[in-house]
Chain A
Amino acid sequence: MAKRDYSMLGPDARRAVENGLAAAEWYHSEVPRKEMKALMARSDAPAIRDTVILFAAMILFAGLGIVLWPGWWSLPFWLAYGVLYGSAMDSRWHECSHGTAFRTQWMNDAVYQVACFCIVRNPVSWRWSHARHHTDTVIVGRDPEIAIMRPPAFVRLVGNFFGIFDAIHGWTRMILNASGRLHPEEATYIPQSEQHKVIRVARIWTAIYGLTIMAVVLTGSILPLMLIGLPRLYGAWHHVMTGLLQHGGLADNVTDHRLNSRTVLMNPVSRFIYWNMNYHVEHHMFPMVPYHRLPALHAMIRHDLPPPNPSIAAAFREMWPALLRQLRNEDYFLRRDLPATARPYRDDFHAAALGAAE
């Protein structure tokens, strides 16, 4: 059993390049060009509607939270505001980083900037990091966005439901970048020509947080932090809950998203918060299909994919035991059966990784 090294600068990173796993050609289901063009076509309307709803709900919930502050009756409104700030902004960050949410580019960019601030991800660094995630999805040493490493660090996973580790990591990185420096790993995927932008954004954010903290001191109340900053902690649980399911317990070091990604059917509220990223196999296979067309894409290619998990609870029931098992055996992962209508997994191509599955 080989110990995995998730560093972008370590031996697994070198091995991935040597084995042809870096920037490899990935499997994708067949979709006729005409239909794929229709699926990829951009539209502003769905994202404008969803964005108006999102920001209106945030203003409403925050307003009620302020009016009822500091009474206990304000709590449910802060919890609702927090989920929109600390979780819905994760999916807005994601979809707008792909540039697929809106047809109009400045709208993608505007929502992207706001979402990045809320979720504490530098808009420049994370654009590059996410590009790498799509190039080398769950390739150890190449993908900087692997949420569940092996063996799983449960304290970290549970802590992140309250933003404990990743938000604090985001703020720490912000301070580092604001001081004019990049982390050595960031330099592996952010071109030199873009690096000054990382530092500029970090300095603007640091100033905003500085003003917020000053407002706390001047008013003698944590209310300003309830609006800016803290919701990243108390509202993170939903995006962590859905995000862990994306790849958790599945294969690593393969080039078929059916083996390393999970599609989960979800309730409409979670789908609004998550902007349909529950169709995660479909998203990874065809990242330029906008979120509002993913259900249609799913219907078109489901014959070629493992059956989706029927609910969030069912997906956790599948994933959690696999994670526990990975504590004892890092090489263990879930291999889902394909329907008879699907093109089979390329076992010869994935032999090294697939050998450990049952």
Chain B
Amino acid sequence: MPNWIDACGTDDIDPEDLIRFDHASQTFAIYHAPDGAFYATAGRCTHEDVHLCDGLVMGHLIECPKHNGQFDYRNGKALRAPVCVDLQTYPVRIEGDRVFIDIG
């Protein structure tokens, strides 16, 4: 069952960057891709529980700030060791200047 949450404004995230969004004891990462699209994933790396919000966005990759593990944040796919487990992704919807994510 969809559960859409107002996460942030579209202007809150620079292009090719991300922010952390916490909601009800869960933490998420919201991305603003270079092509203008927005995406959302779980907020912590699947390797060592590090917050991804301090990492570097390069194109459609997010790099964990601790160990250089990389994910494609569009589909959560783990791309570079030491990450082996994919990242949970969440649907995103833009309404006006707000970014909503469906946390299910």
Residues of A within 8 A of B (CB): 23, 33, 36-37, 40-42, 98-100, 105, 127-128, 131, 134-135, 191, 193-194, 286-288
Contacts and interface: CB of A to CB of B under 8 A. Distances in A.
Contact of A135 (B48, B63, B68, B80): B48
Contacts of A41: 56
A53 to B, nearest CB: 25
Contacts, number: 45
Interface string B43-71: 00001110000111010000101111010
Nearest to A128: B82
A125 B17 CA distance: 32
Interface residues of B, number: 18
A36 B63 CA distance: 14
Contacts of B94: none
Nearest to B61: A105
Contact of B65 (A99, A193, A288): A288
B99 to A, nearest CB: 18
Given A23-B49, A135-B48, A288-B63, A37 B56 contact: yes
A36 B54 CA distance: 9
Given A127-B82, A193-B84, A194-B81, A40 B56 contact: yes
B67 A131 contact: yes
Contacts of A191: 84
Given A23-B48, A134-B66, A287-B67, A99 B56 contact: no
A67 to B, nearest CB: 41
Contacts of A135: 48, 66-67
B68 A100 contact: yes
Interface string B14-25: 000100000000
Contact of B58 (A23, A42, A193, A286): A42
A122 to B, nearest CB: 13
Contacts of A42: 56, 58
A349 B3 CA distance: 39
Given A99-B80, A131-B82, A37 B17 contact: yes
B5 to A, nearest CB: 23
B56 A127 contact: no
A191 B82 CA distance: 9
Contacts of A288: 55-56, 63, 65-66, 68
A134 B54 contact: no
A297 B89 CA distance: 33
Contacts of A194: 81, 84
A98 B66 CA distance: 9
A287 B64 CA distance: 10
17 contacts: A37-B56, A42-B58, A99-B70, A127-B81, A128-B81, A131-B48, A131-B67, A131-B82, A134-B66, A135-B67, A194-B81, A194-B84, A287-B65, A287-B66, A287-B68, A288-B63, A288-B68
A301 B58 CA distance: 25
A37 B17 CA distance: 9
Nearest to B58: A42
A120 to B, nearest CB: 20
Given A23-B48, A23-B49, A98 B68 contact: yes
A194 B54 CA distance: 27
